A and B are shown apart, each in its own frame.
Chain A
Amino acid sequence: MHKTTSLKVVTLAITACIVASCYPTRFVSTHGAPMPAETVQGDDWYRDKMYGEYDTIVKTSAINDGMTIKVPRKFCESGKLFSVEYKNTFGGNLLYLFSFGTRRKVKIKYVCMLPDL
């Protein structure tokens, strides 16, 4: 009985951790306009927007003060950002944990602005 309850608590805690760690944070411009999608796809905020994704592992060290990522030209004709979404994943958290903070998985989704005509 005690064992079953503990298992439930652990399962619940892991589930909560997974759900919480996947929640995206999105920074959105209040001016400019997003590049529209050619065809609507998906069922989320990006349905009518053209977006790009950037998935990488950042290596950190004492002499590294961070990482600068240049906006790729693909999906970004204007080179100007309309929104940037950062998503923490459960796997990313585990990597960070087991690499003692030297590796961090970064998943970024971005939408660019319409170019000036």
Chain B
Amino acid sequence: MATTSELPVGQWDTLHENGPFPLQRQFITRHESKATMPGRVARYNNAADEIRRLIKECHDNNEGFRAYGSRWSMSKVLHQKDNMHQNNLMYLDLEVDPGDMHQDSPYLAENVFFFECGNTIKLISQRLAEYGKSLKTSGASNGQTIAGCISTGVHGAGLNIGAVQDYVVGLNIITGPQPGDIVYLERHTRPALNDAFAHQINARVIRNDTLFNAALVSLGSFGFIHGVVLEAEDLFLLNRYVKRVDKNVALSLSKTLDFKNSTFSIAKEVDPDGTPAIPWHYKVFVNPYVNDPDYVIEVMYKKPYTGAYPDPFTKIEKSIYKDLIYLLIKFSEKFPKSIPWFIKRLQSSILPEITKDEEEITATLYETFWDAPYKGPAFACSVGVDIADSEKALNALVTLTKSNPIPGIFAMRYVKKSDATLAFTQFDTTCVIEIDGIQWEKSRKMLSLEEYGRLMIQTLQTANIPFTVHWGKNMDWAFPNLVQDMYGSKAQTWKECRSWLLSQEMAQLFSNEFLATVGLDDFISVPPHFIQSLNIHGNPAT
């Protein structure tokens, strides 16, 4: 039988030390051993039973229950004060055979994989590589679990790729303590697996685009995401370059992503007609405290996979001596005006190393976005805007930051629109403007992180720039009407879907302080036919 350790921890913290937050009990469930229960499906179902048992126990105690993976979120989005389940020891994967595919599926069976919630991007990438496959994109590192990624909308910077949730094609969720509380969700317009597959994991099938899109970025509150079905693609390589370019060119590209007609090009990365190739990835780094005529940019070009490329690991990692940073930040708390000077001095250590055209780093997605180990208490504030507004938004935020210096630098990344109802990547192409850095203490001369976040929101509102905020990052989440202003009627749809999927008691159990703070915890009475399982033509499934 799957077993669960219960730790009376008292408090809980994120990987990046954004807490601590109060917590009564932490659960960790482990599978029955392979030696005594060889069948993977049997062990998976056994773990589902164990999670149902925990849900019942918490419900009987009138307590809450939330799952989390690797603690990478910096906001309180996943935190719950009563019971939290660490699911990173639940990392089975189930075989998907061609016979498991739905008859109307648009996906190739060879690209469809089923992973349990606690599989990290790293584990999944390694598993896919065994089949000559790769994830389509990841965040800038690999430690997040798949369930954690999709719950908060983790994204990369692949221009024509969405965020992590955008290649998820099926969700297995445990919504309550009863045997019938296991569901398997898909889009009805793009089914992936057949009913027989869902039945072997004891799940009730619901194919409905509206419900599926709402459950994709669920903020951990649609139940316990037990399994995720994703679409992979053939393994590929990325050629990575880091360049200094004229800031006007970088910002023009930011607004249009029109690389074909840009003066920016890399000698080796041109199309047969001689025009610049369109990169797979584009990222702009901005130190708000200098007025350099150039910005540092990172571009990557996608190439077919071949085994013959140099070992990239010797070149990929770049770090900074943490204690020196701490010392400087402590100094900065007393003398905030010194921050620009420090950031300028440290720029060469913080930013990636500039490469020459002939010195590109070639690596797979897994190798390129490899481990980003813990390097001290960190913060990150991240907003999404339409790319057309990217320059205006960046200028407004840089002006804000120059007036209120904090120890961080900006970066801009670009992500295709997501179908997920509450994905923060909701513009046709979202420019994600993020400021990352080291935590500091509020002082008489220096704003708190929350106050800085509030000013970010006010600055964008004053500039009349529509924006969203990354769910897993720091912000003044209690800012009035924030979610309503960002998502409008989509927030209502999301709440209705959640209220349809969960009973009122379970909606309460899977809720948390964050959800209440942003006004997404309401339970709305919806009729039973609000969501129906549909066939590909949009008719009720028989």
Interface positions of A (Cβ within 8 A of B): 28, 30-33, 36, 38-40, 43-45, 47-48, 114, 116-117
Contact = CB atoms under 8 A, between A and B. Distances in A.
A33 B5 contact: no
Given A30-B313, A48-B15, A48-B70, A114 B373 contact: no
A33 B120 contact: yes
19 contacts: A30-B367, A33-B120, A36-B70, A36-B86, A36-B89, A38-B86, A39-B9, A43-B376, A43-B377, A47-B374, A48-B15, A48-B70, A48-B374, A114-B91, A114-B123, A117-B31, A117-B34, A117-B43, A117-B92
Nearest to B373: A45
Contacts of B123: 33, 114
A45 B374 contact: yes
Contact of B122 (A33, A38, A47, A117): A33
Contact of A117 (B7, B14, B91): B91
Interface of A, secondary structure class, is loop
Contacts, number: 49
B71 A40 contact: yes
Interface of B, secondary structure class, is loop
Contacts of B5: 38
Contact of B7 (A38, A47, A114): A38
Contacts of B14: 40
Interface string B1-36: 000010101000111010000000010100100100
Given A48-B143, A117-B91, A117-B92, A38 B374 contact: no
Contacts of A44: 374
B381 to A, nearest CB: 22
Contacts of B370: 30
Contacts of A39: 7, 9, 26
A45 to B, nearest CB: 5
Contacts of A43: 17, 374, 376-377
B45 interface: no
B532 interface: no
Nearest to A43: B376
The 3 closest A-B pairs by CB, nearest first: A47-B374, A36-B88, A117-B92
Nearest to A46: B374
